[in-house]
Amino acid sequence: MASEESVRAHVFVSGRVQGVWYRAETREMANRLALAGWVRNVPDGRVEAVFEGSKAAVDAAVAWAGEGPDLAVIDDLHVAWEEPVGESGFSMR
């Protein structure tokens, strides 16, 4: 049994988040935090991401998502907490 229960955050980020390395930076940050999940551009201009891992790591990822990389301008961050589904690795879709 794991020493710390996994959690899952499903986030949508809006603002200037496409074409500013948001997905690549998200993947690097998630890998540093040993998170599983994925990140992708949404056709409406937002970025969608799922983070699974320890509560502390997921909280850090959600906080980072609200700031983004240097070129991003975040207008809104929506977070939905969901049951973990056992994501493996972190991918950029």
Q: The tokens of 36 are what?
A: 């599983």
pTM of the model: 0.94
Contact 74, 68 (CB under 8 A): yes
Is 31 part of the annotated catalytic residue set? no
Q: Please identify which of the residues 8, 16, 40, 41 carries the catalytic annotation.
A: 41
Where exactly are the structural domains of the chain? 16-84
Given a cut of 90, whether residue 60 has pLDDT beyond it is yes
Predicted confidence at residue 51, as pLDDT, reads 98
- pLDDT tens digit string along 20-50? 999 999 999 999 999 999 999 999 999 999 9
Q: Which CATH class is domain 16-84?
A: alpha beta
Mean pLDDT on 68-87: 96
Predicted confidence at residue 89, as pLDDT, reads 96
Q: Please identify which of the residues 8, 23, 27, 46 carries the catalytic annotation.
A: 23
Is 41 part of the annotated catalytic residue set? yes
Given a cut of 90, whether residue 5 has pLDDT beyond it is no
**Nearest to 69, CA basis, from 8, 12, 15, 7:** 15
